[in-house]
Amino acid sequence: MQSDPFDKTGRSNTRWQQSLLSREVRESRNRHRAAVLWFTGLSGAGKSTLAHATEKRLFELSCQTYVLDGDNVRHGLCGDLGFSVEDRSENLRRIGHVAKLFFDTGVIILSAFISPFSQDRAFVRRMIPAGRFIEIYCSTPLEVCESRDTKGLYLKARAGLIKDFTGVSAAYEPPTDPELIIDTQQQTIAASVEEIVVLLVKRNILQL
């Protein structure tokens, strides 16, 4: 396992238990290769909508797949974290390790998180074998994201009721070299999903 700079648990007292089933064996049964699809972008950019629509399409193609959604993990696994820079990094560290566990089972895991900092996304990328981490940047403009604002978060942030809100009072570092860029303002969800499927085929993750 790679060194985790955040680990403070005394790993010398634990030992990684190797499964009797390799990822390759699991992939052969699934009839597709494992991958981590990482959706990043501002709140309201369409990450969760696109991730869930892609999950449904992959399920229809008989893939083993699951979405890790930013809001959902805040209800349990990361319910003790806030939105400071440190807590956001810890949030991504935890999700990265969960995604890696799913990956090892041969699943196509879809992660939908703002994940505003490039170093945190790079940390997760390093955990996954080359070619299996696919960063999908939902590049929808801020004004469009604000116009959607189904949760009223931008209004609260503009009013100073929410601190450290990405795009308003906290920075977002766009990916410099993502595998895919999608503007959900310009492209339909259906077209975006098919673009992702085509990419998975090109990467030899899916065979249609």
Residue 80 tokens, joined:
């003790």
Active site residue 111: no
Whichever domain contains 118, its CATH number is: 3.40.50.300
Count of domains for the chain: 1
pTM for this predicted structure: 0.87
Residue 17 lies in a domain: no
Q: Using one digit for the tens of pLDDT, what is the confidence trace for 91-142?
A: 899 999 999 999 999 999 999 999 999 999 999 999 999 999 999 999 999 9
- Structural domain including 101 reads 22-202
Residue 116 lies in a domain: yes
Assigned domain for 12 exists: no
State the average pLDDT for the chain: 89
What lies within 8 Å, CB to CB, of 39 at 6+ separation is 47, 48, 50, 51, 110, 111, 112, 113, 136, 138
Catalytic position from the list 115, 139, 147, 192: 115
Distance CA 76, CA 161 (A): 24
Question: What pLDDT was estimated at residue 92?
Answer: 92
Do the domain assignments include residue 2?
no
Let me know if residue 10 belongs to a domain: no
- The answer as to whether 13 is a domain residue is no
